[in-house]
Amino acid sequence: MELPEMKYPLSREQLLDLYYFMRLTRELDEQLVRLFRQNKVVGGLYSSIGQEATSVGTAYTLEKRDWMAPMIRNVGGLLVKGFRPRDILMQYMARSGSPTGGKDGTSHFGDLQERHVVSPISMLGDLIPVMTGVAMGGRYLGQKLVTMTWIGDGGTSTGAFHEGMNLAAAQRAPFVCVVENNQWAYSTPVARQVPLHDLAERARAYGIASYVVDGNDVVAVYQTTKEAVERARRGEGPALVESKTMRMKGHAQHDAAVYVPPEMFEYWKARDPIARYETWLTERKVWDKKTKAEIERRIERELKEELEFAENSPLPEPEVAERGVYCEGCHTIEARWERPIEQLQPPKASVQAAWTVSDFGGTNGGGAAAKAHAPEAAEETKPAAVAAKAAAVSTRGANGGTKRSARAAARPKRRR
């Protein structure tokens, strides 16, 4: 192999894994389209074609102990976390063998016990505070986990998004938010709903580290997100990763997306994430034609078996409709402590109920009566350089000496 230098190296097996999951996601998506046209899909169908690198590349950075909460276009993340194609197929077909027993559709299911997946919430933005809470809970229990969820460009304008990001920042939660900027909030382009080119700028208002990445480059997505994940795991606070990609279909199968200029589709079609990654693997001699053919045959075989299983799965019986509406001993969820509980109880956990405010919240740091907070020029920086620069920032105290500005030192810059 002839691989470029990577901060987070990937083995040949892992590189092929990324291709397998992206290609499986694409083939599964196209299979669902065929089922939809055969009237075998119950309800709507939401395509993730064109966004596979984002879902797969971000989810692949998580460890088994980590938690994630997908949205409707994050089927690739579910596959990475261990769900099978039959789970997605039966979910869309409302079969009794689906994760929800035929009671819900799309990706609206989870697994709190083994895979650590929180079910999606249709009210966009609401998963941000939820996953912040899961991150805080994991830290409290000493689990050293990281949580992740995704949000679309339109969802970043919801109140829940901003409230959740502020909470995550204030609590320094080990949480990573992936913004899938796929250019369209249904039929509204990004430029018509927010006066920003990079949605990552929104994280800066809360002092959150943010990154912008080419969402159709799976290796770049993995490297960037892995950095955000490890940063959060080290206790350095939450992070936001903006992945610039494109929704290559309408909002759902009923939407022909006639509002999208044809030339925009052509631009992004030339940057298809799977085709790009195939070229990347070939140029770096990670695989050959035989290996690629083997992966394709494997996916074809697996999807055929999974589809047969799903189609042979019966529809739910009418009498089960009332079951599971309320939990009456259906499961038991208990806190899994991975730290001595005594650490969180007095006297070890006792702290003085007083806070130190270095500059008393005033304007005496810079000698001016008021400060202008104009947007800073965008910089292309690395986290190490950012940390060094932040550490060097100081403000002049009232006594003429210098002291570190906690606010300036804690404010991370985003990386393009």
Question: Which residues are designated catalytic?
Answer: 247, 251, 259
The span from the CA of 55 to the CA of 70, in Å, is 9
Classify burial at 411, counting beta carbons within 10 Å of its beta carbon; exposed 0-12, middle 13-18, buried 19 or more. middle
Using CA atoms, how far residue 330 sits from 77, 115, 325, 326, 327, in Å, is: 27, 18, 10, 9, 5
d(CA 15, CA 222): 11
CA end-to-end span of the chain: 28
Task: Fill in the DSSP letter of residue 224.
Answer: H
The residues pairing with 213 across neighbouring beta strands, listed in sequence order, are: 243
One-letter amino acid of 43: G
> 9-17 contacts: CB < 8 A, separation 24 or more?
10/219, 10/222, 12/286, 14/60, 15/219, 15/281, 15/286, 16/281, 16/286, 16/287, 16/291, 16/295, 17/60
Determine contact, residues 59/81, Cβ cutoff 8 Å. yes
Alpha helices for 117-217 (secondary structure H): 127-140, 159-171, 201-204
DSSP collapsed to 3 states, 262-327: HHHHHHHHCCCHHHHHHHHHHHCCCCCHHHHHHHHHHHHHHHHHHHHHHHHCCCCCHHHHHCCCCC
Phi-psi label, residue 125: left if phi above 0, alpha if psi -120 to 50, beta otherwise = left
Q: How many CB atoms lie within 10 A of CB 323?
A: 13
Strand 239-244 vs strand 175-181: parallel, antiparallel, or unpaired?
parallel
